[in-house]
């Protein structure tokens, strides 16, 4: 669970997103950081019970820096006002399948999968889908998956308008082959983060994504 003190720190940061305020509240930030790490440790303990591929992960592998990358952003606010955690099946591989938990007042959610894979990885995933469409179809139609996440995420930025190169428009898996990311998400109420059994409840939800992550991992580990 997230402590009330950590939530208050984020609320205050929203109204005072500048370096002077942060420097003046360094002790509060240090305590927030400890709470953040404890929050991740609790989640990680529960997730490892359901997904042994996470066993090698440590808290430091799942955190994000509070500083924003403002080099190419019109918003020059220096700090993030959300709390996120990323639990990847392979901590050393970029865009490895994993699970994500995000707290942001009014916009909290959980998610998982592979977001914007590199071109070579995208080819591998599409090849796996093309040959083993039935496997993926079974995964996304599983009761647990549908109850928690309903479907793989689709939006205008995530779906090609035409069939990708080397695939026929009438391929039975064409709607999945058009995808550029392979994720699923669920919005959750902010209040869930303050409940004592938060980690247990969220880990149970995220485990609905494990079969999809295993499918994606299998694709990425297959040599052409």
pLDDT in tens, 185-208: 999 999 999 999 999 999 999 999
Please give the pLDDT value at position 71: 85
Q: Which residues contact 205 (CB under 8 A, 6 or more apart)?
A: 110, 148, 186, 188
Please give the pLDDT value at position 224: 62
Distance, in Å, from the CA atom of 110 to the CA atom of 47, rounded to the nearest integer, reads: 13
pLDDT in tens, 26-80: 999 999 999 999 999 999 999 999 999 999 999 999 999 999 998 888 889 999 9
Distance, in Å, from the CA atom of 107 to the CA atom of 20, rounded to the nearest integer, reads: 27
Mean pLDDT for the stretch of residues 158-179: 95
Confidence grade of residue 137 (pLDDT, cut at 50, 70, 90): very high
User: What mean pLDDT, rounded, does the chain reach?
Assistant: 95
Confidence grade of residue 17 (pLDDT, cut at 50, 70, 90): very high
* pTM for the structure as a whole: 0.94
Please give the pLDDT value at position 164: 95
Q: Is residue 67 packed enough to be buried (19+ CB in 10 Å), middle (13-18) or exposed (0-12)? A: exposed
What is the sign of the dihedral through the CA atoms of 152, 155, 161 and 165?
Answer: negative
DSSP 121: H
Mean pLDDT for the stretch of residues 73-101: 89
What is the sign of the dihedral through the CA atoms of 93, 94, 98 and 100?
Answer: positive
Q: In the beta sheet, which residues pair with residue 83?
A: 103
């Amino acid at each position: 669970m997230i402590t009330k003190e950590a939530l208050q720190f984020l609320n205050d940061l929203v109204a005072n997103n500048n370096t002077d305020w942060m420097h003046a509240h360094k002790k509060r930030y240090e305590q927030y950081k400890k709470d953040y790490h404890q929050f991740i440790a609790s989640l990680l303990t529960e997730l490892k019970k359901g997904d042994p591929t996470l066993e090698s992960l440590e808290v430091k592998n799942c955190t994000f820096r509070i500083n924003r990358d403002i080099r190419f952003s019109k918003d020059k606010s220096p700090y993030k006002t959300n709390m996120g955690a990323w639990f990847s099946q392979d901590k050393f591989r970029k865009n490895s399948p994993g699970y994500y938990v995000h707290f942001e007042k009014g916009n909290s959610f959980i998610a998982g999968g592979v977001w914007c894979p590199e071109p070579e990885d995208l080819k591998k995933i599409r090849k796996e889908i093309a040959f083993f469409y039935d496997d993926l179809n079974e995964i996304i139609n599983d009761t647990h998956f549908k109850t928690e996440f309903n479907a793989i995420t689709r939006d205008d930025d995530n779906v090609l308008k035409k069939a990708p190169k080397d695939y026929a428009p009438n391929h039975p898996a064409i709607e999945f082959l058009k995808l550029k990311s392979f994720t699923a998400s669920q919005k959750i109420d902010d209040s869930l983060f303050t409940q004592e059994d938060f980690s247990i409840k969220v880990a149970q939800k995220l485990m609905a994504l494990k079969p999809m992550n295993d499918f994606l991992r299998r694709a990425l580990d297959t040599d052409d």
